[in-house]
Chains A and B, each alone.
Chain A
Amino acid sequence: MLCIAGTIPADDFPLMEGEVELRGEQLRIGSSFIAVNRGTPALLAAAVKAAETLGRPSPFAYLVGDTGTGKGSRRLYEHMTEVLPRSSFGTIAFHYLQPIIHWHNKIQAVLGKLTPRPRLIADAGFMYAAKMSGAASLYDLFTPDVGELAFLADEEAPHPFYTRGFILHEDNHVPDLIVRAYKHRNAARHLLVKGEKDYLADETGILATVEHPAEEAMEAIGGTGDTLTGLVSVLIDAGMNMREAAVAAMRANRLAGRYAQPTPATQIAEIIRHIPRALRQVLEGQVIR
């Protein structure tokens, strides 16, 4: 089963755990409903749609409200250190959490004792914490955008906010940044880099790229990276190997964007609606241009 851990942008949202489903335009977990918008709700909505398309169980989520103070994230970290030892998730995706090194390390200490070891995916704040902790190589997949890749490539930056200028300037040279991230051991076993062209790479180099269909407006739309992480998480949990899962997710995310006929003002919920059709088409092997 796929587990997703992240935050909801409301301080009064309680710590919740359970399977997540879509009810109309909203996510439901327990008795709580969540609007589908950028961040962990977008990842969850994409994952629910993808799981439905594949006939897989809905993802299980650990969620808490946090608007940036980190209070909710700390509660979630603490809770997960208590419950994960009794869990049996096949895949865990960590998402929008306050990047706090010592809490990351506590989570990682628990994960290291799980047998069998779940596949580990990190994006957003938790990916920042994993890199800062020097533990990147313990993860199976990071899903940075190009700005975050520059942060991974900068061995001195503790947060993307401090990425040095000479590295930021190289952001049109994704392959060079990938090499640098691996050289300093700041990349997971695989990197899925989201951008004008999407990349899958490991320490041996670039394994695959996807650049069609191309919708320039996608970069401006908040949540398109979250949906891609949701898609690849479901496909990995379904048993696909990393290359199959990443390429299918990159294609399906782009195709869902194409179907939404996006402008820079398009909201992520409009793209998520098209995920089932796009994913089905990709998995059926239809050529997309």
Chain B
Amino acid sequence: MDLSRFLKGNRTQDAAPGCDGQADRGILVFENTSEVIQAEKLLKKNGWDIRVMGPPPEIRQGCDLVIEFPLIEELQILRSLEAERLPPLRTVPVTSPLLQPVDIFQFKDYGRHLMVRAANMKLTVDRETGVIVNISGGGCPDVPFLAASMVGRTLADAPSPRDIGHTLCGYALQLAYEEVRRRCSA
């Protein structure tokens, strides 16, 4: 008998039916984007049904992300985050549509090199060696830092933007990085 649905983090579908709607969703607001990225990683690892989204205008500060979650599971999610010393600043029910992160990739084939663009971030890889040869685009201050950390290293060895980035540009680079990895391993 499969009892996995009773495990912590695997209860979303039973606990929050109809979660495609918004009335039963809330958002977790953090101090900065790097905390959002860490919290997303933790909650997804634990199987929670969460999504990274743009904040509603009334709480928008600038370079923001929030985590949308099933409201009914708020206590357990907060407990998980507090256990990892990642408490959100606050939780807010979703009352209006949230901004959807970009989910379109564009590609440029240079023959030996492949460039993938996600939103404003572009990552170019040498197909033969798997080495990241360039990172372009973006405007947040972690982009030059990410480029310095990743360019010249292979896809297997380079740090993930999710682990060392802090901003929405870093998050967009993560999407491009995942897409390049997917394409280069296919």
Enumerate chain A interface residues (CB-CB to B < 8 A).
7-10, 37-41, 66-70, 72-73, 96-102, 123-129, 132, 145, 147-148, 151, 156-165, 168-169, 171, 216-217, 219-225, 263-267
Whether the pair A98, B141 counts as a contact (CB closer than 8 A) is: yes
Q: Smallest CB-CB separation from A148: which chain B residue?
A: B120
Contact A9 B144, beta carbon cutoff 8 Å: yes
Given A96-B140, A96-B141, A265-B133: A101 and B62 interface contact (C-beta under 8 Å):
yes
Are A219 and B102 in touch, CB under 8 angstroms?
no
What are the residues of chain B within 8 A of A159 when measuring CB–CB? 54, 62-64, 168
Q: Interface 1/0s, chain B 81-110, versus A by CB < 8 A?
A: 000000000000000000111111010101
- Say yes or no for B80: interface residue by CB 8 A criterion: no
Contact B119 A97 (CB under 8 A): no
**Of the residues B64, B136, B139, B142, contact of A67 by C-beta under 8 Å:** B142
Total A-B residue contacts, Cβ distance less than 8 Å: 190
Shortest Cβ distance from A69 into B: residue: B166
Closest CB in chain B relative to A42 CB, distance in Å: 9
B9 to chain A: which residues have CB within 8 Å? none
Judge whether B136 and A220 touch: CB under 8 Å: yes
The answer to whether B145 touches A265, judged by C-beta atoms less than 8 angstroms apart, is: no
Structural contact, A158 and B136, CB atoms closer than 8 A: no
Contact B166 A147 (CB under 8 A): no
Residues of B within 8 A of A162 (CB): 54, 99-102, 168
* Cβ contacts under 8 Å, A165 to chain B: 102-104
Known A159-B168, A163-B119, A222-B147; further 14 A-B contacts with Cβ < 8 A: A38-B144, A39-B143, A67-B145, A68-B34, A98-B167, A148-B139, A157-B99, A158-B62, A161-B120, A161-B171, A222-B134, A263-B113, A265-B124, A265-B133
Residues of A within 8 A of B137 (CB): 145, 147-148, 222, 225
Q: Is the CB of A264 within 8 A of B99?
A: no
Residues of A within 8 A of B166 (CB): 67-70
Measured CB to CB, the closest approach of chain B to A18, in angstroms, equals 20
B169: contacting residue among A126, A161, A164, A168, CB under 8 A: A161
Alpha-carbon separation in the docked complex, A161 to B170 (Å): 10
- B171–A68 CB distance below 8 A: no
Do B142 and A145 touch (CB < 8 A)? no
A102 touches B145 (CB 8 A): no
CB distance from A174 to the nearest CB of B (A): 14
- Taking the closest CB of chain A, its distance from the CB of B12, in whole angstroms, is 25
> What are 7 A-B residue pairs whose CB atoms fall within 8 Å in the complex?
A39-B147, A68-B141, A132-B62, A158-B54, A160-B119, A222-B134, A222-B151
> If A68-B165, A157-B99, A265-B113 touch, does A38 touch B62 (CB 8 Å cutoff)?
no
Chain B residue numbers with a CB within 8 Å of A127 are: 139
Judged by a CB distance under 8 angstroms, whether B25 is at the interface is no
Interface residues of B (CB under 8 A from A): 32-34, 54, 60-64, 99-104, 106, 108, 110, 113, 115, 117, 119-122, 124, 126, 133-148, 151, 165-172
Residues of A within 8 A of B165 (CB): 68
Q: CB distance A37 to B141 under 8 Å?
A: no
Contact at B139–A68, with CB atoms within 8 Å?
Answer: no
Q: A265–B139 Cα gap in the complex (Å)? A: 21
Query: Which of B33, B119, B141 contacts A7 (CB under 8 A)?
Result: B141
Give Cα A38 to B115, complex, Å.
17
Which one, B34, B63, B108, B119, contacts A220 given CB within 8 A? B108
Kindly name the residue among B106, B135, B139, B169 whose own CB sees the greatest number of chain A CB atoms within 10 A: B139
Contacts of A123 in B (CB 8 A): 139
Q: Are B122 and A220 in contact (CB under 8 A)?
A: yes
Checking A37, A100, A222, A265 against B126 with a beta-carbon cut-off of 8 angstroms, the contacting residue is: A265
Tell me how far the C-beta of B54 lies from the nearest C-beta in chain A, rounded to whole angstroms.
Answer: 5
> Which of these, B33, B120, B141, B148, contacts A97 with CB under 8 Å?
B141
Complex contact B143–A216 (CB within 8 A): no
Contact A39 B144, CB 8 Å, known A68-B165, A129-B62: yes
Q: Verify A98–B63 contact, CB threshold 8 A.
A: yes
A10, A68, A221 — which one has the most chain B CB atoms within 10 A of its CB? A68
Contact in complex: A160, B101 (CB < 8 Å): no
